[in-house]
Chains A and B, each alone.
Chain A
Amino acid sequence: MHSAASKALFEQQTSKLEGLLLDERNWRVVERAFPILDTVFRHEGRIALRVRMQCDDWNEQPPSIELMNEAGEFLAALPTGSNVFNSSSHAITHRPFICMAGAREFHTHSSHLTELWDNYRSRSGYDLGGILTQVWHAWLKSTP
């Protein structure tokens, strides 16, 4: 996709991440400037999770999702209790990763090469806000 079109789609799909929604979900948007969507999830009694989505070439390819602590340091191990969080080293990023359709690391993982992003990207819940929401729901079910 042309970069300008990618940027326009990014801006359209992230423009509503504001106000009551962020309050209700206890999200803090650290950065929202193409191609980066950087958000912190907080929840009482839990360690915050920072989710930085690298959305270059959106939506020809899914976002690469980086997982960090609130200070921006990459996590060496991910929350447990949800198979969306995979603490093994990804062959490309060499870091723990999100193993869920909609994350670039899923679609480039050797176990999922046949699960093409093209089959997901027009589905409900696979816009940028939808993917972020899916990661959030997985995080809420995980520990710690």
Chain B
Amino acid sequence: MTEDQVTGNKKTDSHVDVVILTTSGSYPSTGTDSVPSHQKVRQQLKKAAQALGLVDTDTWVAKVGGREIDPEKSYIDNGLTGSVRIDFGPREGGGGA
């Protein structure tokens, strides 16, 4: 069991409550999805992209609490438990004049 840092609710370690935040909207649009902790983060990102009409997001960056996470790893392998807010958006393009 872990303790949700926001609500203080006890949760099982087998699932995390996930919301994905983008400038095109959130997924799910309200609340969170309960997702297996061993599932790759990428799977939920793909669902979000489809629901929000986002394309070509493979190079986008996913962050939790300001820390970049690896979408090809599971929530557990990314050190994520409880309630998880994933900030998802495009990396900056190259500059230089």
Chain A residues near B (Cβ < 8 Å): 13, 16-17, 19-21, 24-25, 82-86, 88, 98-102, 106, 109, 111-112, 123-125, 127-130, 132-138, 141
Contacts and interface: CB of A to CB of B under 8 A. Distances in A.
Contacts of B93: 84, 100-102, 125, 134
A137 B89 contact: yes
Contact of A137 (B21, B25, B54, B92): B92
Given A16-B23, A21-B26, A134 B57 contact: no
Contact of B23 (A21, A106, A109): A21
B25 A16 contact: yes
A129 B55 CA distance: 14
For the side of the interface on B, what is the size category? 20 to 34
Interface string B49-60: 000001111001
Contacts of A136: 89
A130 B26 contact: no
A126 B3 CA distance: 39
A124 B57 contact: yes
A101 B87 CA distance: 22
Contact of B85 (A24, A102, A137): A24
B61 interface: yes
A124 to B, nearest CB: 4
A32 to B, nearest CB: 12
Contacts of B96: 83, 86, 99
Most chain-B CB neighbours within 10 Å: which of A17, A19, A130, A141?
A130
Given A98-B95, A133-B90, 6 more contacts: A13-B23, A20-B21, A100-B94, A124-B60, A128-B23, A133-B89
A18 B89 CA distance: 15
Nearest to A122: B55
A40 to B, nearest CB: 15
